[in-house]
Chains A and B, each alone.
Chain A
Amino acid sequence: MPALLDVRDLTIGLGLARPVLDNISFSVERGETLALVGESGSGKTLSCRAILQILPKIARIQSGTITLNSPGKPALDLCGLEPRAMRAIRGDRISMIFQEPMQSLSPLHTLGDQVTEVLYLHRAMGRADAQAAVLREFAHVGFADPERAFRAYPFEMSGGMRQRAMIAMAMVAKPDLLIADEPTTALDVTTQAQVLGLIKSLQVETGMAVIFVTHDLGVVANIADKVVVLRRGRVMEAGKAADVLGRPAHGYTRALLAATPASPSTEVLEPDAASGDAILELHSVSKTYRLRARAAWGSPALVAACRNIDLSVPRGKTLAIVGESGSGKTTCARMVLGAERPDPGGAILFRATPGGDPVDIHAMSPAERVTFRTQLQAVFQDPYSSFNPRMSVGDALAEPMEINNIGQRAERRDRAIQMLRQVGLDASAMNRFPHAFSGGQRQRLSIARALMMDPMFLVCDEPTSALDVSIQGHILALLEDLQDQRGLSYLFISHDLAVVARIADEVAVMRGGIVVEQARPSVLFNHPVHPYTRALIAARPDADVARKIDLKVVAQGAGDPEGWPEAFRISASQVPPLQMVQPGHRVRCHV
């Protein structure tokens, strides 16, 4: 029996340039999951869009066939299909879910409206039947209250719930093939684990085939039966997931595997002699936001983004704050940068010289503020939007010195070139514009810009989240080198424990604005105590088919804090204290 979908020698070009997909072949059977793996620009997204024939306008299929063999129906070559016949296949026999669950759903239509549409299109169902079918599907994908979800708009839902709605939309017509284009990349690890589990269980039930596009080998290990590794439009390696991940034959696959961050080894390092010299200290810092009231005469709602945070960053070390979106980690970073003011009663102290007098970041004299701003700099998450596209790299780098009236033009230029070299770029970058650089190079540029003022402290807000895995490693290595050479101290914000494990000396795990566990990374990884930390670690997909995600641990720790075991439970009225369970290991629990 032929494979459900068979892609043969597919070549796609954009305009007249070299083909972006070059002779790609793969196939997927019923009930099987195929993972297309590659970094950005590898052509993985293009090849899955080619199956549905939703390519960008300039893309042309130059050769190849895409054959669909639905059971009980004649084989079809999707490449030559006329638009009307293709539309009948989309959403019915082949459906697709996308990366950004917010932007992939229309904000102006209810979830129910957008999902029932599929049934109106392909099943000619009446209103009541369609609605009942959608409600069943909503319950199926894990909505506790399907009726409410049916009436809800996407922006009323969290990212994970929106992705569930997308999955419901893709599943409601019971397709033969589901194409998932990086469906979990924009989600928190714990949510990702749950969504992966959902796709897997739906597949087991319906026997559909899945094509899963991802850049994360950990995800591949957890979901795929077969793997195709793509690079620059060519297949590097293909085979069974266990073989490709366990015994990679191609150098590129090995390089990808090596770049995947691994859990720290079990050895527990000797704790550093506590120097007692903290460059930055947060003392019972809280931040409460006032939300605008529902009506002009109502009272505003209060939201606690951070509650009683006590942290300190030793000089020359890295403190990492880890948590999901909404955990308050970015609010912390913004308060340290001086962009937000903490609630009265908290203080953020900065000590410029060892043993010197600390200054309160939010109670500085104007003169102190000027020097402080040169001593503390930031590297942001999105290297695409943190540069002005109309300013050359040279100008962008010189700007901090210009604003502070430091040096002459030539001096600024020399320093900019010096900093470019330091981050591994050369002087020719000076006259180019940000769009000419890749994501990784741009992140290097933004580090170079942060270094221009010769700071002693960097706040890094998810500096690697927008980058491919292999590039992530380079940027982390660069940050480590710079720390060694210049004695920099870092406050490192991330949602990814694995990234943090590599670079941090100390990790604070946050959930709902509260620090729940704090320790050195090796301790945290090997002896996690708090259920949320355990969920974070369990949810992280490992690039090893033998070690799959334990969904039970994830579900327990990532759920509602009121559902945590008695000793850890956080309720509106009661927050357990942060206890020292071992030297250097603190957990929020009742003993």
Chain B
Amino acid sequence: MSKTNTNILRSLLLLSYVIIITLVIYGFGALYSYLNTGADRSKMLHTEVKQVDQYLPELQWAPLDNEGRPIDEQTLSKIENDYLDAWYVKYVAYKTNTKQGIDDYYTKSARANIFNIIAINTENKTTIEATTLEHHPSLEFFSEDGQLAVLTDHDVIEFKRIYKSEKLITEVTEKSSYKVTLLLEDGFWRIRHLVKIDSEPYAKEKGNPPIKISKITGINYYPQVNPWDMFGDSFDTKIITADFDIIRDSGLNSIRVFVPYDSFGKSSVDSTQLDQFLKLLDIAEAKNLKVMVTLFDFYGDYSVLDWTLTQRHAKVIVNALKDHKALSFWDIKNEPNLDFESRGEKLVTAWLDKMIDFVKSQDPNHAVTIGWSNAQSANILKDKLDFVSFHYYEALEELDATYRALKTKIPDKPVVISEYGVSSYSGLWNPFGNSEDDQAAYHKTIQSVFTKNDIPFMSWTLYDFDKIPKEVVGRLPWRQNAQKHFGFIDENGIQKPSFKFISKE
């Protein structure tokens, strides 16, 4: 007994010894690693600061004709970056009523003005979400020692959403001009003086009369093997060429294709994918098909401070594609009304409104539309669009009445149905679903409605798909399976009965 006790005691002693030594070593280790943190040279020198695009409003320098020292391009771009960052940090400050970042971009006496306004807004429970969309600066002066610059920023387009106690009370768009004095301090071009010299409410003047569109008989297109993911590594011109032959031969003249916002690189557009898109247009041109390009697919942020980035995205894409003969229309966004609930109708509409103006400013020669998900939303922004388009997945028998009602509201512009169709899925998850024959009957009937009312149409879609990304309809199997069977051609490449009615009754 006592021997056992001694052994227990011994092992306890041994164990405690091991534990103590472990703790001591751990303690020294922690102290050592603590003492080795902080003084990281790369951090001290700011060599690791990653350049992330946060704010990219349109900015156009006036031709350089400044007094003082001639400026070099590098300094000018440094001034431009810091000046835009100054706007950005200011708007972040007003959105959150915090002072983060202001110190870097405003001199001591200038930042006091911003802090005063933050104090007032905090007290009044006001927050302001704002962005600038355009700047037209002209450099007035650059000092001989390179430490002071004065510029006049003409016609700055500012958009503000003003909240009081977290409730949106108004939206303002202004066109203002500012005189700005900047000083080079601690490596930052900081704003020393900012004087608003001019301001007026801004509304884009009525643009050109709507662009006439030709007769559309079309289809929404994704390849069978990689729906919603046709660009990038899986881009295949052979498949696309073959598919376009099928579409052309079926008697259709248009396709609708999507540009996913995220995978195309957001504000820094991936040139490989853009080239692939141009190849797709080349093939379409060769096959005599017109392409409706739907921008901003899967974009869902809409926050005001993100607008300049979407603007940059649209600028690159629109300018790359606008001269292509195969391009027919711009569809700003697919079914943006589905984001009304989560992002707010006003915010989404404001974004669309500005984006229509922007796309038109970049490409005045192609008609612009928005692919609303239902006929009820099709009224929104109708005056700004060249033609109205909506998607129809409701009951077939109501289409005629719905379309006519809409047409009376929008008598002067074409109204296009840019998506419609029915799934031929009936199975475990929906035993009472439509058969392939039902689908054919649907298409036959709808074609008769189109013919009767002379409705331009684009169907959903060419193929049945094997897999649907969860971003499209979620993960629920009955939705996934239904979405897989909207095609005119099944997954084995065999034409379904509906194919007969793909372009005509």
Partners in one complex: no
Interface residues of B, Cβ cutoff 8 Å to A:
none
